[in-house]
Structure 1
Amino acid sequence: MNGKAIGRVAAGALALAMLAGCAGERGGSAAVPASGGDAQPSVAAGGQGQEMFGTLPSPCGKGDAKGVTDQGVTDTSIAIGFGDDRGFPKAPGLSKEMGDAVSTMIKWCNAQGGINGRQIVGHQYDAAYMQSVTVMQKACKQDFMLVGEGFAMDDAAEQYRVACNLPVVAGYTVGPNAAMGPMKFEPVPYPVDYYNAAPLNLAAKTFPEFKDDVDLVMSDSPAVITGSNKIKAAMKELGISPKDCGVQLATQGDPSYVPFAEKFKSCGVKALWTSKTPDPAMFSLLEALDRVGVKPTMVFEATWYSQAVAKWNTNGQGDTIHAGLIFEPFENADKVPAVKEYLDLVNAEGGKTALLGMQATSAFLLWATAAKDCGSDLTRQCMVNTLSQVHDWTGGGLHAPTDPGANMPSDCTLMVKLTGSTYKQVAPATIGEFDCDKGNVLKTDPSTWGTKLNEDRIATTFLTPNVIKPQV
């Protein structure tokens, strides 16, 4: 996945206009209820026998839904498409956790009876980075909807999706047209026109040095440049002044990283932020900083919450790394039933687990909840109508409250710190809580959007008069 994909997938942009859940207009926190015991497939309080996913009553179960109501829907089944880029030869297994999560959730749901009695038939796709158009053309011919997928080159396929009126509850989107497309919903939206500055705000509140002695690790990657420019603009609005030391890493690598470390040292940097993903260049820079005796507080994107980073940090050179997340970290599984449920279900199927997997899981649950509400009248129009009205969503507690129906970013975050090979939530202090503030959501400069939006905040690039619009 390219830098742009990872930057949008993970956290600098993490998701949406929170309504209920954030306690108070400012400075509130959204608590995820603590587990009352075993978080294996559980039953609701009161002994009603209701299957749960964390705090969410399962949308799956038996029923008597009938009718061939739309493409992919019969009396007995619902065909959905899902998938990832796992076959990309330069990064085999890329995003594998997304397909693994959705296939697991299909099995989990069908074991309960499907959706109102209709069994889910999953068509799994591998876009392999460069095959998103081929995948979309196949999905257009056979699927009711796409659910929980993530394709790095989704913008290339967007014109085909829009043309065939294929709604999607995406695991994530990357391209601006896909992120702002019609008939598109995400459990954790990353719109181009608003930005969740909660991680920056929380870092400034937690670390005094982050306000006046911080700088960004830049790169010559266009994606990182774009992301960094957005961060700089957000910092300016928040009263944070980067030192602009002039360090820019080369995408293809640099001969030595010690000069960069020395530059940060002479510049007086005490804190660092970067939109770069964990890669050999960044690891080399952090090792060089340690070598010259500089140990800045590092607050990075959510992609730095990673086993690859934990495995690299054998010498403790990353012990000042912090990452802002909108998802509950796996280390909170004993306190957050939904996280334990996700891990238990996917591990039982031998799948790969990661934050993107939880993102795909939340997407499936969002889709399934709307599909249940549509009952026998399971049409694309009903799904668009129903999903557009979902304004308070946590995936059963997998993440902070979000607003998929409005396609707005979150105003929440929590912070984890790496020590050795272990991550731990350090802010807010109470495990399972998020730091939320409506003021964290900032408007972005239209010059950074990468697409033109209409009055409904929908990308106009591939828009047709025939797209399915909410009728509510």
Structure 2
Amino acid sequence: MRRFLTLSATAALCLALAACGSRLEPETVAQAGGGGGGGLTGGGALPAGSTAGGGSTGGSGTTGGSGSTGSSTGTGSAGSSGSTGGSGSSGGRGSGGGGGTAAQGSGENAAAGTVEAGSCDGFKNQTGITDDTITLANVADISGPVPGIFESAQQATRAYVEYFNSTNDICGRKLSVELLDSRADAGADQQAYTKACDEAFAAVGSMGAFDSGGAGTAQSCGLPDIRSTTTTPERRDCATCFAAQSVDPSQVNGAMPRWFAEKFPDAAQHAAVLYINAGAAATNAQFFKNAYAKAGWKVDYFQGIDVAEFNYAPYVQQMKDKGIKLVTYTGPYQNTAKLLDAMQQQGFKPDAFVQDATIYDDRFVQEAGDNGNGVYSWSTTALFDNTAIKEMALYRAWLDQVKPGATPNFFGLYAWSAARLFVEQAVALGGQLDRANLVTAMSKVKDWTGNGLHVPQQVGAKTTATCGAVFQLNGGAWSQVSPGDYMCGALLSGS
């Protein structure tokens, strides 16, 4: 059996390109390489006022029980949760989740957690907050060269809003989500955040391949931006922007390359680092290459592959010629499947093939087929089927409530975590909730795990996580092959 090694790219732009919901075909990427604002779309930016699905979720359903301004979280029934905008590129609307019919958590897994609710005295309506509603924005790449690329982030954010609204409110207000499409384009991201600045109180669970576009906009209007993860240095440096998966692109988690150097000592001396040649990927890949060398690897082949490339045979031949034994790739899982196909066709069987968690997705398993057997994935999350983790069971249940049959993935899990993080911080602030105070509160968050969904993240410090796990795919199923819950180790500088 082939044994492949999948490489972790904690926050590269190319990691962002990998959660696509449909197969990358030539017509899909026909516009790649052009475009305004540094994006992939080749066309214009997002039209002002447009949304990913033309609608919003949550909102002003009637509340019962103690849903009044006298307490931070109401306990009455949610009533109608409003309509949810469909997150497909067609712009259609979908119906909202079924209120309280999905699982309910308790204790720290309750929708508002166990934080002490702040007094609602002094609570003021402001941008994005009315007597009934707190409007959040979710900005994600939905259309563009890979339709549905970050649909999972919008689905998960909607799911948490449905979960929260089913039993809770914040000082009498329900949550509502405005879904905006950044279209894998920096200009579109900037326009979406201009709209968010004007209409939403905060942005939550956002995910974009070119998230540099809206960074300055969010900071200039003081918009709290609690993202799934960040993909560019500009977003990380935005003073009001944070992420459930914290990342400093120049810092590389050292646990993964050290583990593979120990497990495959000979192969690590004949390694290849391949990456999708788009956006900030080349810079981030150089950080990885440098860090892996410090972990004891010898990289003999360092190569970018264009997003529109469909002939992987020359790259496979180069690896054969150079005697490569350990292959790492960072990019869309659809392209990974094509690379594995080319390797199989040419009889190239390295000792290991590694990729980040973008391939830890059932859609990759289906696309790769038997060629995926033996691949490794490096992740900072728990296994999705580990529903003994109560928060994982909640995420899965409410995701299915919002989008029956939706596939859980890395970006969706961190978007759910980001939504919980917003809720807990907002509930604790109570009547002191405003944009500036929320940003200050976020800057103090450390060791955030989303109730066990992922490794501790230094959200406020914005540093790369030091822990993670290695999964392996065999027979269509993933299992953890690294020791303990997570391996941890010192960060490696990619500089």
TM-score category (smaller protein): 0.7 to 0.9
The equivalent position to 2:110 in structure 1, one of 44, 52, 65, is 52
In the alignment, structure 2 segments of 5+ residues that lack a partner are 1-10, 20-101
Aligned-residue Cα RMSD (Å) equals 2.9
Over residues 234-283 of structure 1, what are the superposed CA-to-partner deviations in whole Å (9 max), with x where a residue is unaligned? 01211211233x666454336561x5434433433221112233334x43
Tell me: CA distance 1:413–1:386, structure 2 relative to 1, closer, same or farther (3 Å).
same
1:409 aligns with 2:464: yes
- Residue aligning to 2:158: 103
1:180–1:191 contact (8 Å) kept in structure 2: no
Deviation at 1:74, TM superposition (A): 4.4
- Residue aligning to 1:80: 136
1:66–1:75 contact (8 Å) kept in structure 2: no
Q: How far apart in 2 are the matches of 1:376 and 1:345?
A: 29
- Residue aligning to 2:105: 42
Tell me: CA distance 1:66–1:101, structure 2 relative to 1, closer, same or farther (3 Å).
farther
Secondary structure class of the residue paired with 1:102: helix
Deviation at 1:305, TM superposition (A): 1.4
Letter in 2 for 1:52: A
Tell me whether 395-404 or 414-423 shows the greater mean CA deviation.
414-423
Secondary structure class of the residue paired with 1:226: helix
- Residue aligning to 1:169: 226
Tell me: CA distance 1:145–1:219, structure 2 relative to 1, closer, same or farther (3 Å).
closer
The equivalent position to 2:488 in structure 1, one of 428, 436, 459, is 436
Q: How far apart in 2 are the matches of 1:328 and 1:145?
A: 28
Over residues 49-87 of structure 1, what are the superposed CA-to-partner deviations in whole Å (9 max), with x where a residue is unaligned? x7536xx9356989855521542334543222123222x
Tell me: CA distance 1:256–1:411, structure 2 relative to 1, closer, same or farther (3 Å).
closer
1:230 aligns with 2:287: yes
- Residue aligning to 1:388: 443
1:148–1:363 contact (8 Å) kept in structure 2: yes
2:252–2:288 contact (8 Å) kept in structure 1: no
Over residues 384-404 of structure 1, what are the superposed CA-to-partner deviations in whole Å (9 max), with x where a residue is unaligned? 221111111101111011110
Secondary structure class of the residue paired with 1:104: helix
The equivalent position to 1:303 in structure 2, one of 335, 358, 361, is 358
Tell me whether 350-359 or 377-386 shows the greater mean CA deviation.
350-359
Q: What TM-score, normalized by structure 1, do the two folds share? A: 0.76
Instruction: Output aligned runs, 1:186-335, within 5 Å.
Output: 186-217=243-274, 221=278, 223-244=280-301, 249-253=305-309, 255=311, 257=313, 259-280=314-335, 282-296=336-350, 297-314=352-369, 316-333=370-387, 335=388
Q: How far apart in 2 are the matches of 1:363 and 1:60?
A: 19
In the alignment, structure 1 segments of 5+ residues that lack a partner are 12-38, 45-49, 446-472
Tell me: CA distance 1:101–1:66, structure 2 relative to 1, closer, same or farther (3 Å).
farther
Secondary structure class of the residue paired with 1:310: helix
Secondary structure class of the residue paired with 1:289: helix
Letter in 2 for 1:190: V
Deviation at 1:285, TM superposition (A): 3.5
Q: How far apart in 2 are the matches of 1:362 and 1:9?
A: 20
The equivalent position to 1:126 in structure 2, one of 181, 189, 195, is 181
Over residues 397-430 of structure 1, what are the superposed CA-to-partner deviations in whole Å (9 max), with x where a residue is unaligned? 11011110111110011011111322211112x5
Secondary structure class of the residue paired with 1:279: helix
Q: What TM-score, normalized by structure 2, do the two folds share? A: 0.73
1:399 aligns with 2:454: yes
Tell me: CA distance 1:193–1:396, structure 2 relative to 1, closer, same or farther (3 Å).
same
Q: How far apart in 2 are the matches of 1:253 and 1:114?
A: 49
- Which of the pair has the greater relative contact order for Cα pairs under 8 Å at 6+ separation? 1
- Residue aligning to 1:71: 127
Over residues 329-358 of structure 1, what are the superposed CA-to-partner deviations in whole Å (9 max), with x where a residue is unaligned? 21323x322212101111022253322111
Letter in 1 for 2:440: N
1:336 aligns with 2:384: no
Secondary structure class of the residue paired with 2:245: coil
Q: How far apart in 2 are the matches of 1:113 and 1:234?
A: 45
Tell me: CA distance 1:226–1:143, structure 2 relative to 1, closer, same or farther (3 Å).
same
Count how many residue pairs are aligned between Structure 1 and Structure 2. Answer: 398
Q: How far apart in 2 are the matches of 1:213 and 1:138?
A: 49
Deviation at 1:220, TM superposition (A): 5.1
1:367 aligns with 2:430: no
Tell me: CA distance 1:247–1:362, structure 2 relative to 1, closer, same or farther (3 Å).
closer
Q: How far apart in 2 are the matches of 1:152 and 1:60?
A: 36
Over residues 164-209 of structure 1, what are the superposed CA-to-partner deviations in whole Å (9 max), with x where a residue is unaligned? 1212111222232112211111111122342223322222233333
2:109–2:391 contact (8 Å) kept in structure 1: no
- Residue aligning to 2:15: 7
Deviation at 1:328, TM superposition (A): 1.4
Q: How far apart in 2 are the matches of 1:112 and 1:295?
A: 53
Letter in 2 for 1:427: S
Q: How far apart in 1 are the matches of 2:174 and 2:304?
A: 52
Q: How far apart in 1 are the matches of 2:162 and 2:116?
A: 11
Letter in 2 for 1:442: L
